[in-house]
Amino acid sequence: MGVLGVLLLAASLWPAAREALAAFSGTHRLIPLGQLWFEIDPPSLNLAQAGIQRHVAPWLWEDVVQPLLELPAWPVLAGLGTVLLALRPFRSR
């Protein structure tokens, strides 16, 4: 979980930097997680939606996943990465 946490923290830097650059240019707006996912791989977003709605539960997409995808990307990625890092087992030396 530690490696995934570090990767998510690193991934949060990209949308944070994009938002910071937009703020300096005067066109600041938050980048939703769903938009970032769509920019990276649109078919996987559509597949995830169809799979969750058809094979798991439609309410899960509408009430849980969709609201998460509407949140700003960098805090969600950074928060999830931080949680995963906090949950990793500690090694004693």
Question: How many other C-beta atoms can be found within 10 angstroms of the C-beta atom of residue 77?
Answer: 22
State mean pLDDT over 46-68.
95
State mean pLDDT over 58-81.
93
Check pLDDT > 70 for residue 92: no
| pTM of full prediction above 0.75 | yes
- How much is the pLDDT for 33? 92
Check pLDDT > 70 for residue 46: yes
Check pLDDT > 90 for residue 38: yes
| Buried-state track 28-50, b at ≥16 Cβ within 10 A, e below 16 | eeebbbbbbeeeeeeeebeeebe
